[in-house]
Amino acid sequence: MDFKLSNGSLEIIMNGGVYEKPVMQVLGSKKIQGSGANERYRLLVSDGKHSHSFAMLATQLNDKLITGELSDYSVVQIDRFVTSVLKSTGKGEKRVMIILDITILAPGTEVGKKIGNPQSWTEESASSAPAPSPIKPAPKPSQPSNNFPKPSAGSNLNSSLLGSQMTHPIASLSPYQNKWVIKARVMNKSAIRTWSNAKGEGKLFSMDLCDDSGEIRATAFRNECEKFYDMIQIDKVYYISRCQLKTANKQFSSLKNDYEMTFTSDTVVAECTEDISTVPSVKYDFLAISDIANKSPDTILDTIGVCRAASDLQELTAKSTGKLLKKREVTLVDQSGSAITLTLWGNEAENFDANTNPVIAVKGARLAEFNGSKSLSCLGSTMLRTNPDLPDAHRLRGWYDHGGASAELVNISARVGGSSGISGEWITFTEAEARKLGSGEKGDYYNLLGVLTFTFADNAVYKACPQEQCNKKLVDQENGLFRCEKCNREYPNYKYRLLLGANVSDPTGDQRITAFNEAAESMLGKSAEEIGRMSEYDKNAYSQLFDEVKFKTFVFKFRTKMETYSDEARLKTTVMSAQPVDYKDANARLIKSIKALSGIEV
DNA sequence: CCCCCCCC
């Protein structure tokens, strides 16, 4: 097969001209520096006429080399690149090409040979080449090119300040080159923080910047913090130049960039108001809430959901540091039929308003796992947006306002207790009895597929102590205050909690059960908060909710233990979790039982 | 030059 290279494209590019998506052949590669995250590779590329050994691979493409995908003789289309002029040691200028995006058209194994007879490109060829000069670029192709920095035409900026009228892609920034101007949108901006340690004290704020090539974090300390804090605003676009670049500490940032920047006293920032639609705003990679359940703890992820409920602001003291923490737990729901808890901290927790059930887009939250249940937690770098103007957000709004609000949901963050998961064996009430479950000291856990045959709706919701760990039922003092006997305190506020008594039946028997807050929420498909409000303001909806849940089937995880009440021993069975039936799983279990019972070997 | 992501 024949592969056509973009013959002559290299000399146009090396002279600073424009060439859209050239097709070239890779003739070799060489590691030039660093290891791990700092690895960089140089490529020898050919357009059939010339070869050039100063093509650098952007680090995010390193994998393609390491995995062998980008082997020698590969024919590639260079979808996006920038060129940069290096002042090398005494030999004058040298232009390098930084490859940002690449499509492999044919693997090296298939091509198997050098195409054409390319001559090595040198800077001497540059001067003698007939290609257009950098000042007068080649005629533009019909499509506007993103390959080259565009002049920031008509900018309100003093060009001598910025030293250049061209903007550079964020992805091309490195500590090795300091003459650049970026045109970037502010995705996120931190609050001002102060620090005080052995090395001194001061204040700072940081911001996350992006353009269509990538993203980078920038931090302004002390004077620069003061100078720029008010000016920098989320979602606005700025020309920024003269910052110090340094290797990013990946431990503290999830942005996709090997470097981060620090504002210095030379730093120039000017707002850009023209032609800013080409600068992307925050890029999300939303996961459906149901899919979050399958991710590992500590994953940093983006999601979007409707805030169905939020806890009151809670104050607690961190055991390890003694720091006073403020938090609020927000329940997000989406069309995947799932709910998850998102924990907000500090100011974000304090200022959060759940009243209108806003759509919340969250970027860079951390997946936490506690006692087998998963939830999201905000980090300092997490971005939260309320009712963002995004298609996903509008879709969710429509869904929630037209039925989604009362949809039956699986709560990923519901607490599950005990050791074995729901994936364990299912047994029946008769089997539980035969095994004498609950007769021991510690209580026993088992899973069972059962139907909710009756719910005791009266008193299923109560006003509980607002203290995080307490949950004690409060005594209404009839004066606007509520008394907690356990904390020996009075509170003006409370949180609703559920304590649901019900009957569960399976084909072999039935059992009186108790479901505490989270388990009851997942059966009723609503938060304790919502149910609490219903109990006060909409009695009909309240009783309807408890009627509707009757005869629903769940996979229950129970904890059972014999307890004695006034000389009478009774099994106390508590719902640890209640999940809707996954019929694929349920059928697989049935088939297995049938095979076992009928003597067919499995 | 900092932040180590908090709690049940």
pLDDT in tens, A350-371: 989 988 999 999 999 999 988 6
- Through-space separation of residue A318 CA and nucleotide B2 C1' in angstroms: 20
Residues contacting residue A582 through CB under 8 Å, at least 6 positions apart: A555
| Rounded-to-integer distance, Cα A211 and Cα A584, Å | 45
| Rounded-to-integer distance, Cα A54 and Cα A529, Å | 63
- Through-space separation of residue A252 CA and nucleotide B4 C1' in angstroms: 7
**Closest nucleotide to residue A190 (Cα to C1')?**
B3
- Through-space separation of residue A90 CA and nucleotide B4 C1' in angstroms: 44
Q: Is A147 left (phi over 0), alpha (psi -120 to 50) or beta?
A: alpha
Give the residues across from A216 on adjacent strands.
A209
pLDDT of residue A586: 86
Q: Beta strands of A293-348 (E only): which ranges?
A: 300-310, 314-317, 324-333, 338-345
Helix, strand or coil, per DSSP, at residue A65: helix
Whether A385 has a pLDDT exceeding 70, the answer reads yes
pLDDT of residue A86: 59
Decide whether A9-128 matches A429-460+499-590 in CATH topology. Answer: yes
Topology (CATH) of A429-460+499-590: OB fold (Dihydrolipoamide Acetyltransferase, E2P) (2.40.50)
| Rounded-to-integer distance, Cα A469 and Cα A472, Å | 9
Residue scoring higher pLDDT (A204 or A95): A204
- Count the Cβ atoms, other than its own, within 10 Å of residue A117: 9
| Rounded-to-integer distance, Cα A352 and Cα A374, Å | 22
Residues contacting residue A215 through CB under 8 Å, at least 6 positions apart: A170, A187, A208, A209, A255, A256, A257, A283
pLDDT tens digits, A456-512: 999 899 999 987 667 889 999 999 999 998 888 899 999 999 999 999 999 999 999
- Distances from the Cα of A571 to the Cαs of A36, A420, A439, A566, A585, in angstroms? 59, 21, 8, 14, 29
| Rounded-to-integer distance, Cα A515 and Cα A499, Å | 6
Pick the CATH number of A289-411 from 3.10.180.10, 1.10.3720.10, 2.40.50.140, 1.10.10.60: 2.40.50.140
**Closest nucleotide to residue A298 (Cα to C1')?**
B5
Q: What's the sign of the alpha-carbon dihedral A266, A272, A277, A283?
A: positive
- Distances from the Cα of A302 to the Cαs of A68, A261, A293, A392, in angstroms? 31, 24, 13, 12
Helix (H) or strand (E) holding A44: strand A40-46
Whether A38 has a pLDDT exceeding 60, the answer reads no
**Closest nucleotide to residue A341 (Cα to C1')?**
B8
Q: Mean pLDDT lowest for which of A363-367, A421-425, A563-567? A: A421-425
CATH class of A159-271: mainly beta
Residues contacting residue A74 through CB under 8 Å, at least 6 positions apart: A25, A26, A104, A105, A106, A107, A108, A111
Asked if A525 and A475 touch (Cβ cutoff 8 Å), the reply is no
**Closest nucleotide to residue A321 (Cα to C1')?**
B6
Q: Which residue is listed with tokens 């939020």? A: A310
Residues contacting residue A229 through CB under 8 Å, at least 6 positions apart: A192, A205, A220
The two three-digit tokens of residue A200, written as one number: 């001194």
Bases in strand B with any atom closer than 7 Å to a protein CB = 1-8
- Through-space separation of residue A548 CA and nucleotide B4 C1' in angstroms: 48
Q: Among A71, A73, A57, A54, which Cα is nearest to A116's?
A: A73
Question: Which residues make up the interface with nucleic strand B when CB must lie under 7 A?
Answer: A 193, 195, 197, 199-200, 202, 204, 206, 219, 221-222, 246, 249, 251-253, 260, 262, 264, 314, 316, 318-321, 323, 325, 327, 343, 345-346, 366, 368, 370, 375, 377, 379-381, 468-469
Q: Which residue is listed with tokens 């957000």? A: A393
Q: Among A71, A92, A82, A87, which Cα is nearest to A26's?
A: A71
| Rounded-to-integer distance, Cα A470 and Cα A587, Å | 41
Asked if A178 and A268 touch (Cβ cutoff 8 Å), the reply is no
Domain ranges within chain A, ordered by starting residue? 9-128, 159-271, 289-411, 429-460+499-590
| Rounded-to-integer distance, Cα A229 and Cα A39, Å | 34
pLDDT of residue A537: 94
CATH class of A9-128: mainly beta
Helix (H) or strand (E) holding A163: none
**Closest nucleotide to residue A318 (Cα to C1')?**
B6
pLDDT tens digits, A329-356: 999 999 998 999 999 998 889 989 988 9
DSSP A529-572: HHHHHHHHH-HHHHHHHHHHTTT-EEEEEEEEEEEEETTEEEEE
pLDDT of residue A149: 39
Q: Which residue is listed with tokens 């699986």? A: A410
DSSP state at residue A60: G
| Rounded-to-integer distance, Cα A358 and Cα A332, Å | 10
Q: Buried b vs exposed e over A366-383: b needs ≥16 C-beta within 10 Å?
A: bbbeeebbbbbbbeebbb
- Looking at mean pLDDT, say which of A4-8, A100-104, A146-150, A247-251 comes out highest: A4-8
**Closest nucleotide to residue A316 (Cα to C1')?**
B7
The two three-digit tokens of residue A564, written as one number: 């004695």
Whether A122 has a pLDDT exceeding 90, the answer reads no
Task: Give the confidence band of A260 by pLDDT, cuts at 50, 70, 90.
Answer: very high
Residues contacting residue A308 through CB under 8 Å, at least 6 positions apart: A331, A332, A333, A339, A357, A405, A526, A527, A530
Tell me the mean pLDDT in the region A303-313: 91
- Through-space separation of residue A244 CA and nucleotide B5 C1' in angstroms: 26
- Count the Cβ atoms, other than its own, within 10 Å of residue A98: 19
Chain centroid to CA A21: 32
